[in-house]
Amino acid sequence: MYDKRRHRCPHGRTVVAALVVVLASLVCLAGCSTRQGSAVIDDVVPPVTPSPEGSVLPGPLARPPAGSQLGKEPCLVGAPVAWRRAIAAGTLWHRQADGTTAGVAAPDGSAVLQQSDHGNVAEIALVGREHRLVHKVGDLPQPGTGQLTYNVVTRDYVAFFYALKQEDRDRNLWFLYLFDRKTNVLRRLISNPHDSNGVPLPGGDVAPILSGSSLYWVQPTAADSPLGTDELIQYDLATGRMRTMYRGRLGAVALVGAAVWFSRAVAASNPMDDNPPMTMAGFDERSGRPVAVPAGITAAEDHAVSMYYHSGTLSWSTRMGELRAWRVQWGSSITLLPGTGAVTTRLGLSDQLVPRVYRDFVVISAGGTYVLDLRTNSLARLGKSSTAGDLTGSILALRDYGSHDPVTGAGIGPSGVAVVDLAHLPRLPRCPH
């Protein structure tokens, strides 16, 4: 699965005061009329109207245990027997040489989202044990190298990007799809905008975010802006209406309770600066009104590449490979894993650290799937081969590619997929003294 995040360079670690975001004008994004005889619909989106204000307060947070070693170098431990048994019991298929691309898991752990190529058609479906079809999403054209990339699955919806990785003028072309699992309708919501010459703009094609009411994504825009050329878009799942929540230079985005937090370039920054100063901002999901982001979160100053929130923990990665986190009880951001250097070499980490959080577990894909237990400050690798993982709530999907193509980085050779419910697993062993 294609999994490269946009990079931002690291900055200082001063505490960021809570700032509010300047919301852009509401935008209507138009498409084509409904196709006859097809389940794929190009939406015509009506103008948006203001919605009532909602609450954005996070839920109660658990205090870190006494004697926590967080902030120090974690130790590498073996996965406990209960973890290994859970992976074995949750294996959907193993060592099967197929040309498919697997994505995230369904919330009940019964299947993973998968692309299977058949001639010039790519079938997207939720697939269970031994490739049993659980829920077909749809068939998409597969001209050359069309590929399922970032994706998210909830009980009611599936959202995913489908990218055309070609060497011609369409090399940046992607499409965003939304599938309603209740009505079995697949909609193509949008493709990336084009410039005045009809060439797709680079950017976008980053992980979509699904809440209970909305779908969010970041896309490039050709519109003139003194702050940059990104747009954070909200799609209302009930009404089908879109609005631009922010336009400007954007960094990482995370859903936090009933709010969306993101990092953005400060107003006085130079649009041509590759390393602009960044700050945190947020808005309420329902009303779109600005909300304060707590002081002490340095994700913006760190130029976070990716960011994720769950159960009171916000975690993010930096371009230099650092993994950092914030909890309100800590009063500040701390480093969970340092960047490139002797420590990451000792721990066997490589590539970008892409964090996902469930309670006290932080899952990262770093040349393999690792889990860091915030209660013990210990780190364990899941799986023996090159693996990638992603979370749907508490359900972790592990994709074992066996090996990777040295040129393209794509998974090759016999592959396997397992799903594991972190809610039922014990903490990792403490570090030996």
Residue 130 class from Cβ within 10 Å (0-12 exposed, 13-18 middle, 19+ buried)? exposed
Average pLDDT, the chain: 78
What is the value of pTM for the model shown?
0.81
The pLDDT of residue 351: 63
**Region 74-91: what's the mean pLDDT?**
93
Domain chopping of the chain, boundaries: 40-424
d(CA 425, CA 431): 18
Q: What is the mean pLDDT of residues 65-72?
A: 59
User: Which range scores top for mean pLDDT: 74-78, 91-95, 165-169?
Assistant: 74-78
Contact 374, 360 (CB under 8 A): yes
Beta strand 75-77 with 378-382: parallel, antiparallel or unpaired?
parallel
Higher pLDDT, 392 or 318: 392
Which CATH superfamily hosts domain 40-424? YVTN repeat-like/Quinoprotein amine dehydrogenase (2.130.10.10)
Six-digit token pair at 164? 């055309």
Instruction: Supply 72's token pair.
Output: 């120090």
In angstroms, the CA 401 to CA 411 distance is: 5
Q: Mention every residue, 6+ apart, whose C-beta is less than 8 A from residue 237.
A: 156, 157, 213, 214, 215
